[in-house]
Every structure is written in C-alpha cells, then in structure tokens.
Structure 1
Amino acid sequence: MTATAAGLGTGRQFRLAAGRFPSGVTVVTTVADGEPHGTTVNAFTTVSLSPLMILVVLGATSRLHDKIHRSGTFTATVLGGHQEDDARWFADSARPSGLTGFAGRAWRPATFSGAPVLTEGIAYFDCAVAAAYPAGDHTVFIGAVEDFERISDRPALLFADSRLTAATP
C-alpha cells in the first residue's frame, strides 16, 4: 500500500511497512527504587565512537520509561538467536515487576549502573543517560557508554515482519 496525498494511512499500516526492516533485539534494564526493571526493545543503535554512545527508544507509557528518567542509567543486553523466550518474556506486559520479573533468567549486575545484564546475551552496553528527547509517543534515550562487553560469538536475534528469528552466521 502506498501513502496518498489524502493521508499517510494508519499506524498499523506504518508498522507493517517499517517492520520490513529487520532489527536486532535487546533487553533494556535499569535499577529504580532499589529494584531491577527491564523490557524488550528493538529500537537500538550505536550513535558515536568518540565519545562512545548508543540510543534506545521507549514508548512514553512503557513501565521502564519513567524508571530510566529517575535512575539516569540503563543497560542494553543484545540478545542471541537462542533467546526468543527472553525477548517474549520481557515484552509481556503481564510479566511481574521488579526482581520477580527476572526469576529464572541468568543475569548479573552491570559494573557501572548495577542494572541487570542478561548473561546469556551476546553483548551489553552499560550507560549513563546523556540526553532524552521526546519524539511523538516515544522518548529517545542517548546513553554515554560507561562499560560494554562482547559476551558471545553466537548469532543475534532479529525481529522482522513481526517475527523473531536467529541471524544466520
């Protein structure tokens, strides 16, 4: 479907078109009020090599949004192709909040922020929030990378056309 001069179509149509572009999958975490919190995010990219910076984009109504604003830190764990269950778990709005939401998941606190790093992931980036920009119904969080690690050489988990799949090596 093409956009017409009369209008750009619906949000659903936009998502279907944008979904043609495959993206990696991350779990973004923080610690707020003494408890770990996290959610699945596919809007992630590197921003700068000097200084080291990444960005993640969260819906303004997501449970994690205000917690990152309060904590001023976040960690993004890049998921491997073997972590579809983790991606679905952290995307589930019915998932318990706080420490209970991490039960049964292998994780450790990140060095800088203390936010959970999923240890079965393939890389992580531990960040201080350098900037936050409202963007429609989302916020773009720019993270100054304080620590990072390539954890594994396994293929990444990808999201395209509303499906999760492992990248082929």
Structure 2
Amino acid sequence: MLQSVPDDGLLPVDTAQFRTAMGRFASGITIVTARVDDIDHAMTASAFTSVSLTPPLVLVCVEKIARFHDAILRAGKWGVSVLGASAVDVSTHLARRGRPLLGQLDSYPHYRGRTGAALLSDALAWLECRTWATYDGGDHTIVVGEVVALDVARSSEPALLYHEGSYRTVQETTDER
C-alpha cells in the first residue's frame, strides 16, 4: 500500500543513515517463541519493550516477510525469554534467516510455559503473552501482548545488549560525585 507523502517540505531520511542512527540505541535481546500445529517457531528480537503496567502489556516488532510473522499472528499466544550475556549463540542462531524450522530449539535447554510456548531455561526473565492488538508498522507488524504469566531468574548475569551492530553487556560503574 502506497502512502502519500505530506507536502510539508520535509524529505524522507536516508535508509542507511536511519539504520546507523538507530544502531546507536542499545537494546536488550529477547527470543520470542510461538507454537503452531505442534511446531515451535522462534526469532531473536531487539525491538521489544514494555508498554503498560495496568494492564501489563509488552510489544514486539516482527518483520512482515519473516517466517515468524505468520506464526505469532496464528498462535495468538507467545513467549519471551530475556537473554543474558552468555546467550550470544542462541541469539545469533535464531536471528539467522533460512535456518531449518524443525528442531531449531533442540540445542538449547527450554521448557513449555502455561501458554505452550517454549521458554529458554537459561534466560534472565520469562514472559508469556496473549496478543492484545496488532498495528501496521511499515515493513513490520507491531504485536502488543498482554502478559499472562512471568518469572524472573535468580541470576546476577548481565543482560545481553545489541549496540552498533555488535553484542554487548552492561558494565556497571559507580559515579561518586
């Protein structure tokens, strides 16, 4: 669908510059999962955030051409595993396009949550959601989920971040001003 461009004198931004600018924003890394027809679907997502406390809502942005897109919409229920610094391997694996669908979680310890979605055992936190709403987001769909179950690990492992095209972790410092 073509959208008309307002005649306000502002030109569209350059895609490469936009990608570079957004790369300066550090984001946490999650694995989002859904189960459809007894098959686990999963993807790495950095476009994930909380939306509301009451009710508890989160959102994830899913590229429309991704295999996971149809799965999350069909499932209606999905899980989120918040990754720690030691999870680079699973994050890289589930971000790879064209990987085999069947057995993609077999090498990573996981369990079934209340919704049936797979949750990674070694995560820092787990959320289970039912789709609350979806919105058009250009080449992505913004999927808002109501959190129906959650748990937090007893871990001091730092969170896995993505910044300027690389995985990173938070290094705590104290400012003694």
**What TM-score do you get using the length of structure 1 for normalisation?**
0.92
2:150 counterpart letter in structure 1: F
CA distance in 1: counterparts of 2:156 and 2:144, whole angstroms: 26
Structure 1 residue ranges (4+ consecutive) displaced by more than 4 angstroms after TM superposition: none
Match of 2:64 among 39, 52, 60: 60
User: Structure 1 stretch 146-155 or stretch 83-92: which is displaced more?
Assistant: 146-155
Instruction: Report the 3-state secondary structure (helix = DSSP H, G, I; strand = E; otherwise coil) of the residue aligned with 1:51.
Output: coil
What is the CA-CA distance between 1:55 and the residue it aligns to?
0.6
Q: In terms of Rg, which structure is larger?
A: 2
Gaps of 5+ in 2: 1-8, 173-177
- Give CA-to-partner distance per residue, 1:45-95, whole Å, 9 cap, x none: 111111111111110111111111111011111100111111101001132
Q: After TM superposition, give the deviation of residue 8 of structure 1 in Å.
A: 3.7
Does the 8 A contact of 1:82 with 1:166 survive in 2?
Answer: no
Which of 137, 153, 156 is equivalent to 1:153? 156
Picking from 108, 114, 117, the partner of 2:116 is 114
CA contact (8 A) 1:133 1:141 kept: yes
Aligned residues: 163
Offset at residue 102 of structure 1 (A): 0.8
Secondary structure of 1:83's aligned partner: helix
Task: Find the aligned partners of 1:6 and 1:133 in 2 and give their Cα distance.
Answer: 25
SS in 1 for 2:72: helix
Q: CA RMSD in A?
A: 1.3
Question: 1:135, CA displacement in angstroms?
Answer: 0.9
TM-score (ref. length: structure 2) = 0.88
Q: Hey, what's the Cα distance between the residues in 2 that align with 1:37 and 1:94?
A: 13
Please report how far the alpha carbon of residue 165 of structure 1 lies from its aligned counterpart in structure 2 after TM superposition.
1.2
Q: For residues 37-116 of structure 1, what are the structure 2 equivalents within 5 Å?
A: 37-98=41-102, 100-111=103-114, 113-116=115-118
* Equivalent in 153, 165, 169 of residue 168 of structure 2: 165
Paired AA for residue 167 in structure 1: V
**CA deviation after TM superposition for structure 1 residue 6, in Å:** 7.2
Letter in 1 for 2:78: F
In 1, distance between residues paired with 2:12 and 2:107?
43
Q: Does residue 18 of the first structure (1) align with residue 22 of the second (2)?
A: yes
- The gaps in structure 1 that reach 5 residues or longer are none
Residue type of the alignment partner of 2:90: D
Code of the aligned partner of 2:111 = R
CA drift at 1:144: 0.4
Identity of aligned residues (%): 34
